[in-house]
Amino acid sequence: MTKGDGTVAGLRMTDNEDSGKIDIGGNFANIADSSHTLQPRPAFARLNSNGSLDTSFGPTGGSAPHVQLFNGEVRCSTGLPDGRIVLGGLFTQLVDGSIPRGRIAAFTPNGLLDNSFAGAGADLPIYGMGAQGDKQGNGKLVIGGNFSMYNNTLRLEIARIMASSVSLNPATQLLLLLGD
């Protein structure tokens, strides 16, 4: 794993999937494949259970945007029952800067950008997330970070959103109590 300038990168998150795959995110630009050739994977990559780069996930042709280019770090992820993956972090744009994402984005099981999961997102970084709900994917996601707004609605550092889209769960108001 290296940064764009060739220096050693920072790994910020890992997540094991039910399939045995391993998702990694952080401050890196390239990941070595099985032949030790660096492949571009800015901020996020999926590995096989043996630690090798999963080349079936990511920038593999086609006209649709693939999980490939983030303009900031990926800090958290969660898998959904339908096989999609949701990523959060410091990024605000994907691909070549032409696809805005408010620090959260979803991808299909093969790495295609899920355009149904779009919106203003968070105004500041998302550092953690977790899935809740049923096996049909009708659940919710809880996200946390340094944000004060999510989808242009006041949400101080925590929000519960629909797993099927980037929309807030309108019936839920979360109250966070902090002690001394």
pLDDT of residue 150: 92
Tokens for 83, please give them. Answer: 């096989």
pLDDT of residue 177: 38
**Which H or E run contains 159?**
strand 158-162
Q: Which residues on adjacent β-strands are paired with residue 54? A: none
Least confident of 17-31, 58-72, 147-161: 58-72
Contact indicator for 91, 40 with CB cutoff of 8 Å: no
pLDDT of residue 152: 92
Contact indicator for 39, 66 with CB cutoff of 8 Å: no
Torsions phi, psi of 15, nearest 5?
-150, 125
Q: Mean pLDDT across the stretch 133-156?
A: 82
Supply the DSSP symbol for 97. T
Given pLDDT bands bounded at 50, 70 and 90, which one contains residue 59?
low
What is the rounded CA–CA span in Å between residue 174 and residue 158? 8
Given pLDDT bands bounded at 50, 70 and 90, which one contains residue 110?
confident
Over 70: is that where the pLDDT of 125 sits? yes
Q: What is the pLDDT of residues 24-34, one digit of tens each?
A: 888 888 888 78
Contact indicator for 137, 162 with CB cutoff of 8 Å: no
Over 50: is that where the pLDDT of 172 sits? no
Q: What is the pLDDT of residues 148-166, one digit of tens each?
A: 999 999 999 999 888 776 5
pTM to 2 decimal places: 0.80
For residue 137, the number of C-alpha atoms closer than 13 Å in the C-beta half-sphere is: 11
What is the rounded CA–CA span in Å between residue 111 and residue 60? 9
SS3 content of the chain, % helix, strand, coil (to 5): 0, 40, 60
What is the rounded CA–CA span in Å between residue 61 and residue 18? 26
Average pLDDT, the chain: 77
Over 50: is that where the pLDDT of 105 sits? yes
